[in-house]
Structure 1
Amino acid sequence: MKFQTRKWVKPEDLNPNGTLFGGKLLAWIDEEVALYSIIQLENYRVVTKHMSEINFRSSAEQGDIIEIGMEVIKFGNTSITLKCEVRNIMTRATIITIDSITMVCLDVNGKPFQHGKTEVSAMG
């Protein structure tokens, strides 16, 4: 798994319990997976189709630095499927895992588009 992105947990990222708000973390993940997919598929028109079960395993607190890791599981005709893990960069404790996130490549009309990719490029 490639850990490319780091986020610093700030006060505005916290829930009423003083830990990282899960919705904020999912937004960070969705953005990172979208950016990664855009680069891999060489198309700016990529949307989230599906996320499998989301497993919150531990929390993060203000001041923690987390890192988002992704790995390509497979390329479909119009899609790319990845798995994701987020962990605390200092303790290496896993915060969340998502076994499958499917992103779909679209054409200019918003319809699924065959991207022709079959393997991870060095750009990713």
Structure 2
Amino acid sequence: MNFHTRKWIKPEDLNPNGSLFGGSLLRWIDEEAAIYAIIQLGNAKVVTKYISEINFVSSARQGDIIELG
């Protein structure tokens, strides 16, 4: 199963430098992983135990659209 979603970067998602706040991205990744797990397991009672590594390669700015999957 491929699972993808897109997010539009809005002003409330930005850090003081005008780029995407890492916490917003982590929240979206966590939500995406939870939805995937719920669908796979057929059980809505899931929690995030561990995220090993996130490699921030480039910045996203207001108005950009990013794809998670």
TM range (shorter): over 0.9
Q: Name the counterpart of 1:43.
A: 43
- Could you list the runs of 4 or more consecutive aligned residues of structure 1 that deviate by over 3 angstroms after TM superposition? none
Which structure is higher in helix share? 2
Partner of 1:40, secondary structure, is: helix
Bigger relative contact order (CA 8 A; separation at least 6): 2
Matches within 5 A, 1:3-82: 4-69=4-69
TM-score, normalised relative to structure 1: 0.53
For these two proteins, the number of residue pairs brought into alignment is: 69
TM-score, normalised relative to structure 2: 0.93
Structure 2: which 5+ residue stretches go unaligned? none
Deviation at 1:43, TM superposition (A): 0.2
Structure 1: which 5+ residue stretches go unaligned? 70-124
Name the larger-Rg structure: 1
Percent identity, aligned pairs only, is 75
